[in-house]
Structure 1
Amino acid sequence: MAVGVDLSKALDKAFEDKTLKEILDSSPAALAGVTDATAKALKDSLGIDTIRELGSNKYFAVAGVLVALEGKTK
């Protein structure tokens, strides 16, 4: 089963036609709203160089789970 996802609002224009692998291997600055300075800060403070590393980072994963749980406890 093929799955389509429109990421045009989530990515900078230059990355809209890239493959998923190319996007995941890109700097977090490829995400719409993430500046080069923010990407550098992620690298310098947490060692995050790619979107893949950002998405699999344990701190961001825990934060995402906590936010999801909040919606279930109300």
Structure 2
Amino acid sequence: MGDIASKLDKAYEDKPLAELADAPVDALQGVSASDAQHLKDAFNITTIRELGTNKYFLWAQAIAKLAD
């Protein structure tokens, strides 16, 4: 996965993985509070864990990989 800290908001760079999984999605670099609200409204996603395990996102990722 490489340098995970570079994928996170500064406030979360030193957090352990177990804590990161349950952090809000806007802890990810480039995800704004507004983006996080859209994810919550559309998919009821509030944490990084929920985003990473959401069936629709996993299906889309699998389709994209198979298409390559």
Given candidates 9, 21, 24, the residue that maps to 1:24 is 21
Matches within 5 A, 1:11-50: 11-50=8-47
- Partner residue in 2 for 1:9: 6
Query: Matched residue pairs, number?
Result: 68
**Aligned residues: percent identity?**
47
Report the AA paired with residue 58 of structure 2. A
TM-score (norm 1): 0.85
More helix by share: 2
TM-score (norm 2): 0.92
RMSD over equivalenced CA pairs, Å:
1.4
Counterparts of 2:61 and 2:22, CA distance in 1? 21
